[in-house]
Amino acid sequence: HLQRFVRFSPGQKMAQSAPTFSSSSSSLDSVYVDGSKGEGGGQVLRNSISYASILGKNLRIDNIRAGRKKPGLKAQHLTGLLLATDLCGGRLEGGKLHSTEIQYAAATTTGKRKNRVDELREVTGDTKTAGSICLLLQAALPCALFGSESPTKLVLKGGTNASMAPQYDYWTHIFLPTLQRQMGAG
């Protein structure tokens, strides 16, 4: 069902079950996502920005949360996008509250250099609301693990046990220990 809301650029090789190619994109390294499809919420944003960042793909998402009562980016969504952008060194356009479209240029296309490998980075994400820090982690963690050349300390500010979000206790007692055990993440 992914082909309903993700289009890849022409010339990209993909498995038969993968999304169809789009002839409307001008770059071989661009991905278009219709943010109104599927569940039409923040998860498509978090996944898309993380994958685009670590794979070095330019990204455009439009119709962000179009079917919701209050469409567009909320503080929590914007903070997640900004975290991924900061961690992977890309450039975000349209990143403002209530925006229904964003464009992201990956670090491989912007030429922006990441921090030195031996330098600990501290990256802060503050929703300035009770937005879930566990949802911020969904956008930031793949970038911190796979898209950054330097060790990273994440400082996240927001809600810990928000409704409709993974709970903080699950992250700290189950998910993170599993990640440390299976992938050596510290």
84-118 pLDDT, tens digit per residue, is 999 999 999 999 999 999 999 998 755 554 555 67
Q: Could you tell me the pTM of the whole model?
A: 0.80
Confidence of residue 16 (pLDDT cuts 50, 70, 90): very low
Question: Across residues 164-168, what is the average pLDDT?
Answer: 94
Residues of the domain holding 126: 2-183
- pLDDT confidence of residue 148: 77
What lies within 8 Å, CB to CB, of 123 at 6+ separation is 83, 86, 87, 140, 144, 152, 153, 154, 155
- pLDDT at residue 74, as a whole number: 97
Look at the block and give the residue holding tokens 């949360």. Answer: 65
CATH number at residue 18: 3.65.10.20
Confidence of residue 17 (pLDDT cuts 50, 70, 90): very low
- Report the domain count for the chain: 1
Cβ within 8 Å of residue 71, ≥6 positions away? 64, 65, 98, 100
pLDDT in tens, 141-164: 999 988 877 888 999 999 999 999
Q: Are 152 and 120 in contact (CB under 8 A)?
A: yes
At 46-70, the pLDDT tens digits run 999 999 999 999 999 999 999 999 9
**What mean pLDDT value characterizes the chain?**
83
